[in-house]
Amino acid sequence: MKSARTESRLSHVVIESISPELDGGRHPIKRSVGELVDVGADIYKDGHDLIAARVLYRLQGDATWLSSPMRYEFDPDRWHGSFTPARLGRWEYTIEAWPAHYRSWRADLEKRLSVGQDVTSELLDGAALIRRGARQLGKKDAARAKALASTLGDTGVTLEQRLQIAFSNEVLELTHGPIHPDEAARYDRVLEVIVDRELARFGAWYELFPRSQGTAPGEHGTFADVERRLPELAALGFDVLYLPPIHPIGHTHRKGRNNTTVAQPDDVGSPWAIGSEDGGHTAIHPELGSLEDFRSLVRAAREFGLEIALDYALQCSPDHPWVKEHPEWYFIRPDGSIRYAENPPKKYEDIYPLDFWCEDRQALWDACRDIFLYWIEQGVHIFRVDNPHTKPLSFWAWIIAEVQRQHPDVIFLAEAFTRPKRMQGLAKLGFTQSYTYFTWKNTSWDLREYLTELASTQIAEYYRPNFFANTPDILHEYLQTGGRSAFRVRLLLAATLSPTYGIYSGYELCENTPVRHGSEEYLHSEKYEIRVRDWNAPGNIKHDISRLNRIRRENTALRRMGNLRFIHSDNEHILAYLKSASDGDLVIAVNLDPHHPQETMLYLPIDDLGIGADEPFEVEDLLGGHRYGWRGSDNYVRLDPSERVGHVFKLRSQSRLDA
């Protein structure tokens, strides 16, 4: 009778403390195609034998594991390996380790030789190990291993020749794997990594309301008007053009200008009150154009290097077709009426929330999935999801997996301004990117603390931040009171701290008037009315935007999050940080005070940068084009926000310049 402790658990080798491993393997980490996955583990065994280990990895569904060797680092007593996923989709990885019998034998042989012992018997043992290991090799390698074993064990061959074989790299490679298959211990979990395209990790977003892209005040804009703006947005360097809901807007309890509860006859309503007699989530507002007009916009955007992102908001106007077709999908009050949305004291009479746990749950969930699939058919592969934290977490885990099973290139951005654990939980369940608290982080202390968490903790394995500097809902007090300089400061921070960032239209014009003091809502908010703008109005910061987006594309240091390192500054008003990459190190200094000049000494970690203590080096300000000669770790910076709010220095050491 077999013991309850199975044979597979009787290995000498222990594998534990795997990294990255998210919540015991319950959730996947994230990478993009071609991005390295570094894997670490504590691996040890009883006795003095050496160990060998490897990372096993494969695209989910593949029958064959690929492998990459792991290396041992003595000081931390830890093993490290890596692999690079080459295709979109969900990948699996785990670790395998085994006693390295031949390497142990060879190390022991070396010790015996060093003290002049007779090793005749030991060489026979080595030959036997090679023969045993040959059973696990392919035909060609097995034949070669047996030939080498024969020579190693031949007492008629000179000792020098036999030792050359014993210590050869060829034998080491042939004996790398486990001599007995059952000696290999495999970690008891298979871990996952979601592999996305690069735009999931790096990109610049621009949000606009299509109905505000016309040129005549009060006249409803169209997709054709948006199409006319594409050359300008492409020239500014944006990658994603995000559109709020483009669907028909309900009439019942329509909101008026500045969010008044009573709409006037000419009020256009909120695009998030989705659904009317013209259709629901798979229909287009008639005044924006036709479905073919939308397809034309998608095609034209791609020609300019832009992708269209659509808002995905699972809520319905009282006039949505689903209300009549499926009233069971909503929350029904005791009096038979449908409950509208509330977030006390706020009331949203113009929308009904969906009951995701209704009795007809599966049909509702399928209908929500089919909305995604419909717009994917129209060429949309990026979705900004509205308020996902107010819907079931299990729903998102299901629907994202369903969509990405067919379309692994689809990107999901979670617009969830809620408690940290809930925001992080949504990212763990599959959301590709996430909004953040960046808008409310305006002091050097806040920024350092928050960015350290995002870039240097386990959160970085799965949470990809999208730093929107403003949104239609959020006009922070810093922008309201800081004037044009404040907009330039926040733009510089967003574009250089995070690989992905965005702005909502009007930001480039420094629009900063709230509906009232103490509110983050805009006066004359586009959520409730049409806005016509002069996109080249005096004081715009379009030059800043285009310059920063070009710098981002030309410097790989700005494409990553985990390479962020803060630099000590004597002045808390100046935030300084380092972003490093193989093609150049960047030092960024930003004056967080939009009203006054500030100066400081910056203390660079020159040892880590490969710069000598007294070595002169040059920095080039990529924003202004000026070059400065620096020496040593302590260097002076002065920033007057009326002229420049920050520097993006590229370091050029004198030795590199001379070369």
Which residues are marked as active site? 386, 415
Q: Check whether the bond before 210 is cis (ω within 30° of 0).
A: no
C-alpha 591/C-alpha 485 separation (Å) is 10
β-pair partners for 169: none
SS3 537: coil
E-strand stretches of 134-190: 185-186
Among residues 203, 276, 272, which one has the least CA distance to residue 243?
Answer: 272
C-alpha 621/C-alpha 480 separation (Å) is 29
C-alpha 429/C-alpha 385 separation (Å) is 14
The maximal CA–CA distance of the chain, rounded, in angstroms, is 106
Encoding tokens for residue 87?
A: 């295709």
284 contacts 247 by C-beta, under 8 angstroms: yes
C-alpha 619/C-alpha 587 separation (Å) is 9
E-strand stretches of 100-247: 185-186, 191-196, 203-207, 240-243
Helix (H) / strand (E) element for 486: namely: helix 477-497
Q: Check whether the bond before 499 is cis (ω within 30° of 0).
A: no
Among residues 510, 504, 456, 505, which one has the least CA distance to residue 480?
Answer: 510
C-alpha 151/C-alpha 165 separation (Å) is 8
Residue 332 has φ and ψ, to the nearest 5°, of -100, 125
The residue written with tokens 């709010």 in the block is: 645
**Residue 626 C-beta-side C-alpha neighbours within 13 Å:** 7
Helices within 153-271 (DSSP H only): 159-166, 169-174, 223-235
How far from chain centre, in Å, is Cα 192? 16
User: How many angstroms separate the Cα of 301 from the Cα of each of 120, 127, 281?
Assistant: 75, 66, 22
Residue 128 has φ and ψ, to the nearest 5°, of -65, -40
Helix (H) / strand (E) element for 119: namely: none
C-alpha 147/C-alpha 131 separation (Å) is 9
Phi-psi region of 625 (alpha: psi -120 to 50; beta: other; left: phi over 0): left
